Amino acid sequence: APKEAKREAAPAAAPAMPAGPAVFPNAVDPKYAKETEGKQRMHSCLDQYNANKTTGGNAGMKWIQKGGGYYSECNKHLKGA
């Protein structure tokens, strides 16, 4: 019976990350004003990434992943590229 329970639990974990559109901050957070531009973007993106975890706003992306994760996309968004 324990093996059957494990099989049932695995598929239930997959839909936990809804792949909606990613939510990015529109500007760097003023609380990071004393940091370098790169760190301002990184910390602002990280705050948004963590906030998105509860709402599924990361579009299924990990913070850093091969081919461009949330940080890469967020950094481009804040640079205006």
3, part of any domain = no
**Within a domain: residue 12?**
no
Residue 46 domain boundaries: 23-79
36 within a domain of the structure (yes/no): yes
Total domains, the chain: 1
Instruction: Give tens-digit pLDDT for 4-26.
Output: 544 444 443 333 444 579 999 99
Phi-psi region of 26 (alpha: psi -120 to 50; beta: other; left: phi over 0): alpha
> Is residue 8 domain-resident?
no
Q: What is the mean pLDDT of the chain?
A: 83
pLDDT attached to residue 81: 57
In a domain, 37, yes or no: yes
**Tokens matching residue 20:** 């909606």
Whether residue 47 is contained in a domain is answered as yes
Close Cβ partners of 41 (under 8 Å, ≥ 6 residues apart): 28, 74, 75, 78, 79
Residue 5, pLDDT score:
47
In a domain, 16, yes or no: no
More confident of the two residues 60 and 1: 60
